[in-house]
Structure 1
């Protein structure tokens, strides 16, 4: 686990040069640090310190922090602070609702456009979700669910949707990473996943969307 008292330079992932815009790279690095808890809720950040830690100018850092503010991971009070936002129970509940709705949109779009090989790939990821749900492995289930959703988004064929989902992904990951599946909900969730699998194989987007939405928020401990 990362020491929260360690210098920012030791906590942030290194910046690599690969041709991507610097502001985009800083956004990804700082956003990932927030999403994973390396930069915890309430921690104050400033463009000068981040720029020094990453070895870049303050301009791309400011641009990245503005985007992170829009996403909801950073909040500012002029002349007072720039800090990581808090995770509240209300935020968790609303994020879970949002994730369920957007995931079903990704599923419907992907089902329109995936070929047989891509469908097989999606089912492999869904099968892993079923395994982890049955085992009650909440962290592994969350990772498997994120991989499944990412796969669907990448095959949605809609650049606007893909961009919006990328912007929101960090906030969703941060707000929901503590969630735990309640033991008594395992059967309900795995049943929904199996129905989802059958619907995807049948090419029934309406049924697939129904079952994907049905399992979101079922038997989840929302407590922080």
Structure 2
């Protein structure tokens, strides 16, 4: 049987734009691109070996979520992170995470409960060790798991869209609200509420953890 001739696969413009978006967002979050750094579409296109169209689309999307700021006919640059940005992000993510927990808890099966408890135990351990970097990562893993378990597509999209700006704003500062003892209390209360499948108590404990 004759095999069909192979042909090069040409990604669509949207696929290229997504790829550029992913690369640029990671470079911003991880600090390869610093706050205030000017972003020129021509240079980015050359560096990624793509045309300027997907770069422009990616930059527009980055601007919409706040990783990039643009002043028309002047510049496009990596957005600064202010203390107010950090406080606003903590408030927003605290409320959104608590909502995800409230929706997810009644939907957790026994295996899910075990995974959630392990995730909270990782938070408790990182807090006890005073490891704010691991505390940040453990919190992201826990919230990501609970968000997935909500089964709520709208909430998942919102959390996905805001996850990058939240990671960027909080990753470097790694803020920890309250004292270590206070955080330990609210983590343990969240843990017990999840074990008891008490959604409202789990939500309340997580809100109190974020001083909300």
The TM-score with structure 2 as length reference comes to 0.88
SS at match of 2:179: helix
Q: Is the 8 A contact 1:139 1:180 kept in 2?
A: no
Q: CA RMSD in A?
A: 2.0
Within a 5 Å distance, the mapping from 1:137-152 to structure 2 comes to 137-152=131-146
Aligned partner of 1:48 in structure 2 is 42
Runs of 5+ unmatched residues, structure 2 = 1-9
Q: Counterpart in 2 of 1:136?
A: 130
Pick one of 174, 178, 181 that aligns with 2:176. Answer: 181
Q: What is the CA distance between 1:42 and its match in structure 2?
A: 0.2
Deviation for aligned residue 1:181? 3.3
Distance (Å, rounded) in 1 between the aligned partners of 2:193 and 2:110: 14
> How far does the alpha carbon of each residue in 1:175-205 deviate from its partner, in whole angstroms, 9 at most, with x for none?
11112437x7111101100010100011111
Mapped contact 1:96–1:217 kept (Cα < 8 A):
no
Alpha-carbon shift at residue 60 of structure 1 (Å): 1.5
Alignment of 1:1-224 (within 5 A): 21-177=15-171, 178-181=173-176, 185-216=179-210
**TM-score, normalised via structure 1 length:** 0.84
Pairs aligned (count): 201
Q: Measured at CA, do residues 164 and 180 of structure 1 come closer, stay the same or move farther in structure 2, by a change above 3 Å?
A: closer
- The match for 1:8 is none
Structure number with bigger Rg: 2
| 4+ residue runs over 2 A deviation | 17-20, 179-182
Distance 1:84 1:37 in 2: 10
CA distance, structure 2, for counterparts of residue 112 and residue 77 of structure 1: 46
Structure 1 pair 215/126, CA: closer, same or farther in 2 (3 Å)? same
Which whole-Å deviations, capped at 9, do the CAs of 1:54-99 have from their partners, x for residues lacking one?
1222211111111110101111111210001111111111111001
Q: Structure 1: where are the runs of 5+ without partners?
A: 1-16, 219-224
Cα distance in 1 for partners of 2:90, 2:170 equals 7
User: What residue is the counterpart of 2:6 in the other structure?
Assistant: none
Q: Deviations over 1:115-139 (max 9, x none)?
A: 2212211111111000001111111
**1:9 alignment counterpart:** none
Paired with 1:66 and 1:77, the residues of 2 have a C-alpha distance of 12
The answer as to whether partners of 1:87 and 1:175 remain within 8 angstroms in 2 is yes
